[in-house]
Amino acid sequence: MSVDKATVRRIAHLARIGVEEEELEGLSGELSSILNWIEQLHEVDTENVPPLASVNHATLLPREDVVNDGGDPDAVLANAPERHDDFFAVPKVVE
Amino acid sequence: MSAGELAGLGIAEARRRLAAREISSAELTADCLAAVEAADALNAFILKTPETATEMAAAADARLARGDGGLLEGIPLAIKDLFCTNGIATTTASRILDGFTPPYESTVTEKLFAEGAVMVGKTNMDEFAMGSSSETSAWGPVINPWRATGDNSQRSPGGSSGGSASAVAAGLALGATGTDTGGSIRQPASLTGIVGCKPTYGRCSRWGVVAFSSSLDHPGPMARSVEDTALLLQAMSGHDPKDSTSADVPVPDFAAAIPGDLKGLKIGIPREYRVDGMPDAVETLWSTGADWLRAAGAEVVDISLPHTKYALPTYYIVAPAEASSNLARYDGVRYGLRVAQADVNDMYAATRRAGFGAEVRRRVLIGTYVLSAGYYDAYYLKAQQVRRLILRDFEEAFERVDAILTPTAPEAAFAIGAKSDDPIAMYLNDVFTVPGDLSGVPGISVPAGLSAEGLPLGLQVMARAFDEETMFRVAGRIEDAAGFDAKPAAWWRGES
Amino acid sequence: MSANGQDLIQGASGEWEVVIGLEVHAQVASASKLFSGADTSFGAPPNSQVSLVDAAMPGMLPVINRICVEQAVRTGLGLGAAINRVSIFDRKNYFYPDLPAGYQISQFKNPIVGEGEVEIELADGRTQTVGIERLHLEQDAGKSLHDQHPNLTYVDLNRAGVALMEIVSKPDMRSAEEAGAYLRKLRAILRYLGTCDGNMQEGSMRADVNVSVRRPGAELGTRTETKNLNSVRFVEQAIHYEARRQVDLIEGGGQVVQQTRLLDTERGITREMRSKEEAHDYRYFPDPDLLPLELEEEMIARIRSELPELPDAKRARYVAELGLSDYDAGVLVAEKETADFFETVAAGREAKTVANWVMGDFFGQLNRSGLDVADSPVSAAQLGGLLDLLDDGTISQRIAKQVFETMFQSGEDARTIVEREGLTQVSDSSEIEALIDTVIAENPDRVAEIRGGKDKLVGWFVGQVMKASQGKANPQLVNQLLRDKLLAG
Ligand SMILES: [Mg+2]
Ligand SMILES: [Zn+2]
């Protein structure tokens, strides 16, 4: 599978990673060679093999419905790059 | 007592001396801190925490004096900078976390500190644990204390827990935490001549550990002996209700499981681990290791793990896919780096561009690609299916054998920069460790010999899920038989 | 309105049928969030109900809330739906400042609840079944405030991580009225079940409306999704506007584009959402931080056994057992609070009388004061007390209405008011006879007319006597005594 420059641009946008126009060529080559290597998986017969998302040795244990967290806006906001009052602030989003 | 002598003690021995009040944690910690100060050339630490360490040591001494010391009371450890530490900057070796100080403590470090451990600093690593050489750090590469015979060029300690590995190997701390996603504890342990253990998935909580690949990330210990590693794992393990994937199983006394012969145990030698281009020394060490286990009473048998060669490509779909999602939270909104832009999407793109290094960006792009519409089935779903086959390989093997012996890594420490331009060559370093992460079975690397160039080589023991006891016992016999006591020459000691 | 009761749209080129499906986001009634222990209550100061998990701090992990799971199961059972014993949480990946992790934990391929249905009633008395496609659990996002600063958006994460049930209907609705009836009915069911408070103003229920148009009976057309509508009126408004817009667009030679739209509630129009313009690729995959959710059969059985009586069953019972009309029963069950209120008053009392009072004076007063049943100053017990006074003859019907008004103003018990104001009905015949004699004495002309055969004037005398008694005289007694005096001789 070769990943062309347009695909790199699309993927980079989906991932919100800035990519310069000059980099596209190089990235396209790198990603293509990795994907080509990965494609040896297609040799494996996986007919009727159920996918394994995670090796789990646990069963999902629920929490009880009690309020025992939150209530400390300063802890939440302390690391904010931009804070206005008790809000996080970001460049204006146009809906 | 000469400088570094205390820092060079094993944990078990230091515990004995601390308990006997022959030494204090303050002295032991001061010796480690001095060693750390003199080892800047290794670039093993992102953040040194001498003041915290001194306070913790004093508190440990007070508890020791009262006779209520914990399992690791007063023992100085190095903490991989992937573990969030309350009130202490945590960077995961990335610019994206510039200025971030977590207001919380990871479960694993909390458990270690609750047992009295002392933190000397946060160790350098591959950015977001993505790498096998500890070269992708925003703070520059970690240097292996080991050098090849007659060659002063700098070697990589492996990665991603390279800072922890170098710190332990160079005697800057008595042990360390690491995380293993594709081999990131075991491979650097092998390359630096120490012991590193990746426990069963679910044994150690991931809460508070910066996530790389959630289904593959395994926190675990690194130390200079099998017993020390067992003690650390003991303190780090246990069910954590804050991590839904944490297993609610009892934590045995791992160190107590080490002694004893291997009578009645079957050890498997997987034929698929004999890969092309493996150096003779690795090949020879592997068969020597099998001989040692036979001599200790085990029966050694050939086994097959047929999907081994597909483990790496499976890993390079699963890990980047999960990472692409796990790293989406680094968006410049709530913490860490923000590169100002007038438009919010431009802000994201500029922040993530500046904050992530090249390897992280590459993996996020790959992960985004394999999950994207039209490619999910061909890549991600396929990888999940092959992952099932890899797990089945292990389940079937463990019906026949009690443990599996392999080399840890296909080669000894390589030169800094040797693989930087070839991602796949770098990935191949994890060929023997990745299957353990995909299947979740425990694995340990034990230093067992030296390469032709005089660099350490490790052997890996894997066992059934939650049977770390067998893993430690087999590892203990390798340690005994190998008698590995080589030390790197202390070339890094600055004349400060 | 066509023969089968569907609203068809009259276009320049003929009739069009509107096809509507709703995705309703209902906030699960729970104290804490879906995956964290932070508070869910409404109206707290910004970022004060945010755990580090909700803020997606590095290394934080989700742990599922037992009650949220049970509420989803309860809702599924209430909708007559299949409960899936194993369901899976997936990550839906996209960037938005109020989505802290860069993904929403949701359920994609394997939701907790499968197909079910909702029965709706329409104004003309028709009932209709709307299919439920699925119900899944997911996290809410935070709140973005775009109007607080000229070039910044403010983000409050209090809502981030609150549990939502997304209830997806089949495209079974054909008019705004049907969609409105469906939404009201769904809301009522959730409130009966106690799984969502249904408070649409506070955003506890929001609907995304999918609208397409087609020639009657033709293949489905391309749909648009108008998001986040928090009232029945807005849903209806959006449907009216979108249906008309799409018909005009197609008839003008254009094509409907599948897109996400917003309702401008002031202008009553929809417009494309700028932030959703790009083609979306959510890259769903199973959340590796969460294992598959496996439900025990016993848990499902327990919840099933605890299900309350739902509006349809209640309505049928009111008709069959209480003898109410279908219409009255329908009105009384439409809101859980009303039904609860009615049942409390009706316990041990005559159901039809109670129904008349609840739907008459009680609703009338509530409407005039703009109050809900829950905020009524007159409790069910107090209304019952009033009806008891009426029933045992202590007060007359007219006095009862007057007392009720006072109760509504003051919140006092009926008996207190009756006693203080001396409103007890006079049934003492000598007292009434004295009043009658006075009235007769003052109106000799009319007495003569009655005696001359104008019997109907008795009613006028009853009124005068009642007035003279300030309404307290027992009207039956007044009537009887007047007849005796005026007609007997
Ligand atoms: Mg929707
Ligand atoms: Zn939704």
Question: Which residue does chain B place closest to A49, by CA atoms?
Answer: B385
First CA to last CA distance, chain C: 64
Contact C137, C164 (CB under 8 A): yes
Instruction: Classify residue B23 by burial, with Cβ atoms within 10 Å: 0-12, 13-18, 19+.
Output: middle
With a cut of 50, say whether residue A8 has pLDDT above it: yes
Q: Mean pLDDT over all residues of chain C?
A: 93
CB atoms within 10 A of CB C397: 11
The per-residue pLDDT for B495 is 47
Q: How many angstroms separate the CA atoms of B465 and A55, rounded? A: 10
Q: What is the pTM of this model?
A: 0.92
| Beta carbon pairs, A and B, within 8 Å | 168
With a cut of 90, say whether residue A58 has pLDDT above it: no
User: A21 lies in a domain?
Assistant: yes
**Domain final position from C367, C400, C421:** C421
Task: List pLDDT tens digits, range B459-474.
Answer: 999 999 999 999 999 9
- What's the pLDDT band for C2 if we cut at 50, 70, 90? very low
With a cut of 90, say whether residue C224 has pLDDT above it: yes
With a cut of 90, say whether residue C123 has pLDDT above it: no
* Residues C434 and C409 both lie in one domain: no
Contact B194, B173 (CB under 8 A): no
Chain B 113-152, CB below 8 Å of chain A: which residues? none
- What's the pLDDT band for A95 if we cut at 50, 70, 90? confident
Q: How many angstroms separate the CA atoms of B124 and B467, rounded? A: 31
**Residue B184: active-site member:** yes
User: A28 lies in a domain?
Assistant: yes
- What's the pLDDT band for C470 if we cut at 50, 70, 90? confident
If you average pLDDT over residues C467-487, what whole number do you get? 85
* Residues C205 and C84 both lie in one domain: yes
* Residues C276 and C413 both lie in one domain: no
- What's the pLDDT band for C196 if we cut at 50, 70, 90? very high
Q: What is the 3-state secondary structure (H, E, C) of chain A?
A: CCCCHHHHHHHHHHCCCCCCCCHHHHHHHHHHHHHHHHHHHHHCCCCCCCCCCCCCCCCCCCECCCCCECCCHHHHHCCCCCEECCEEEEECCCC
* Residues C76 and C49 both lie in one domain: yes
Distance from CA of B376 to the nearest CA of A (A): 12
User: C1 lies in a domain?
Assistant: no
* Residues C196 and C110 both lie in one domain: yes
- What's the pLDDT band for C398 if we cut at 50, 70, 90? confident
Where is pLDDT greater, at C275 or C452? C452
The per-residue pLDDT for B494 is 65
User: C2 lies in a domain?
Assistant: no
In angstroms, what CA-CA distances link B344 with C98, C142, C155?
A: 12, 16, 13
Q: How many angstroms separate the CA atoms of A41 and A46, rounded? A: 10
Q: What percent of chain B has pLDDT over 90?
A: 95
Contact C387, C357 (CB under 8 A): yes
> Domains of chain B (ranges plus CATH)?
11-262+443-493 (3.90.1300.10)
Ligand 2 centroid to Cα of residue C93, in Å, is 13
In angstroms, what CA-CA distances link C24 with C112, C130, C164, C205?
A: 16, 13, 9, 7
Contact B42, B170 (CB under 8 A): yes
Distance from CA of C304 to the nearest CA of B (A): 27
Task: List pLDDT tens digits, range B95-108.
Answer: 999 999 999 999 99
The per-residue pLDDT for C1 is 41
Contact B352 A12 (CB under 8 A): no
Where is pLDDT greater, at C56 or C476? C56
- What's the pLDDT band for B496 if we cut at 50, 70, 90? very low
- What's the pLDDT band for C6 if we cut at 50, 70, 90? low
Q: Residue A20 sits in which domain range?
A: 5-42
Contact B45, B167 (CB under 8 A): yes
- B380 CB within 8 Å of a chain C CB: yes
Q: Please name the residues in contact with C19: beta carbons below 8 A apart, sequence gap of 6 or more.
A: C171, C173, C174, C211, C212, C213, C214, C220, C221, C223
Contact C93 B371 (CB under 8 A): yes
The per-residue pLDDT for B215 is 97
Contact C102 B329 (CB under 8 A): yes
Task: List pLDDT tens digits, range B223-233.
Answer: 999 999 999 99
- What's the pLDDT band for C458 if we cut at 50, 70, 90? confident
**Residue B487: active-site member:** no
DSSP label at residue B209: B
Task: List pLDDT tens digits, range C74-89.
Answer: 999 999 999 999 999 9
Q: How many angstroms separate the CA atoms of B336 and B98, rounded? A: 5
- Give the up-direction half-sphere exposure of residue C81: CA atoms within 13 A in the CB hemisphere: 29
The per-residue pLDDT for C454 is 85
With a cut of 50, say whether residue B179 has pLDDT above it: yes
First CA to last CA distance, chain B: 19
Q: How many angstroms separate the CA atoms of C362 and C200, rounded? A: 24
Contact B220, B230 (CB under 8 A): no
Contact C466, C473 (CB under 8 A): yes
- C457 CB within 8 Å of a chain A CB: no
Q: What is the dihedral of CA C433, C439, C441, C442, to 10 degrees?
A: 170
Q: Please name the residues in contact with C408: beta carbons below 8 A apart, sequence gap of 6 or more.
A: C365, C369, C377, C378
- C59 CB within 8 Å of a chain B CB: yes
Instruction: Classify residue C416 by burial, with Cβ atoms within 10 Å: 0-12, 13-18, 19+.
Output: middle
Q: Return the closest-CA partner of residue A80 out of C38, B338, B103.
A: B338
Contact B409, B432 (CB under 8 A): yes
User: C226 lies in a domain?
Assistant: yes
User: A53 lies in a domain?
Assistant: no
- B373 CB within 8 Å of a chain A CB: no
Q: Is C83 helix (H, G, I), strand (E, B) or coil?
A: strand
Q: How many angstroms separate the CA atoms of B285 and B287, rounded? A: 6
Which of A19, A31, A80 is opposite residue B369, by nearest beta carbon?
A31
Where is pLDDT greater, at A60 or C184? C184
Q: Return the closest-CA partner of residue B239 out of A35, A61, C171, C143.
A: A61
Contact A76 C47 (CB under 8 A): yes
Token code pair at residue C401: 């209405």
- Whether residue B94 is preceded by a cis peptide bond, meaning omega within 30 degrees of 0, is no
The per-residue pLDDT for A38 is 94
What is the helix (H) or strand (E) element at residue B58, kind and residue range?
helix B50-66
Q: How many angstroms separate the CA atoms of C392 and C414, rounded? A: 13
Contact B171, B75 (CB under 8 A): no
Ligand 2 centroid to Cα of residue C99, in Å, is 13
Contact B249 A52 (CB under 8 A): no
Ligand 2 centroid to Cα of residue A77, in Å, is 27
Q: Return the closest-CA partner of residue B85 out of B63, B52, B57.
A: B52
* Residues C142 and C259 both lie in one domain: yes
Number of structural domains found in chain A: 1
Ligand 1 centroid to Cα of residue C208, in Å, is 5
Query: Which of B151-165, B226-240, C289-303, C421-435 is the least confident region?
Result: C421-435
User: C221 lies in a domain?
Assistant: yes
The per-residue pLDDT for A59 is 79
Contact C345, C384 (CB under 8 A): yes
If you average pLDDT over residues B73-77, what whole number do you get? 98
Contact C281, B373 (CB under 8 A): yes
User: A22 lies in a domain?
Assistant: yes
The per-residue pLDDT for B156 is 98
Instruction: Classify residue B314 by burial, with Cβ atoms within 10 Å: 0-12, 13-18, 19+.
Output: buried
Q: How many angstroms separate the CA atoms of B145 and B170, rounded? A: 6
Q: Residue C366 sits in which domain range?
A: 307-421
**Interface mutation target, options C28, C39, C50, chain A, most CBs of A under 10 Å:** C50
* Residues C333 and C262 both lie in one domain: no
Query: Which of B7-21, C401-415, C441-455 is the least confident region?
Result: C441-455
Q: Which of B184, B190, B237, B324 is catalytic?
A: B184
Task: List pLDDT tens digits, range B358-407.
Answer: 999 999 999 999 999 889 999 999 999 999 999 999 999 999 999 999 99
Q: Return the closest-CA partner of residue B289 out of B432, B412, B457.
A: B457
The per-residue pLDDT for A31 is 95
User: C3 lies in a domain?
Assistant: no
Which of B342, B350, B365 is opposite residue A15, by nearest beta carbon?
B365
Task: List pLDDT tens digits, range A15-45.
Answer: 999 999 999 999 999 999 999 999 999 999 9
User: A82 lies in a domain?
Assistant: no
Number of structural domains found in chain C: 3
Q: How many angstroms separate the CA atoms of B31 and B34, rounded? A: 5
First CA to last CA distance, chain A: 37
Q: Please name the residues in contact with C417: beta carbons below 8 A apart, sequence gap of 6 or more.
A: C403, C406, C407, C410, C423
Q: Which ligand is nearest to the CA of C105?
A: 2
Which of C48, C65, C156 is opposite residue A63, by nearest beta carbon?
C65
Task: List pLDDT tens digits, range B35-74.
Answer: 999 999 999 999 999 999 999 999 999 999 999 999 999 9
Q: Mean pLDDT over all residues of chain B?
A: 96
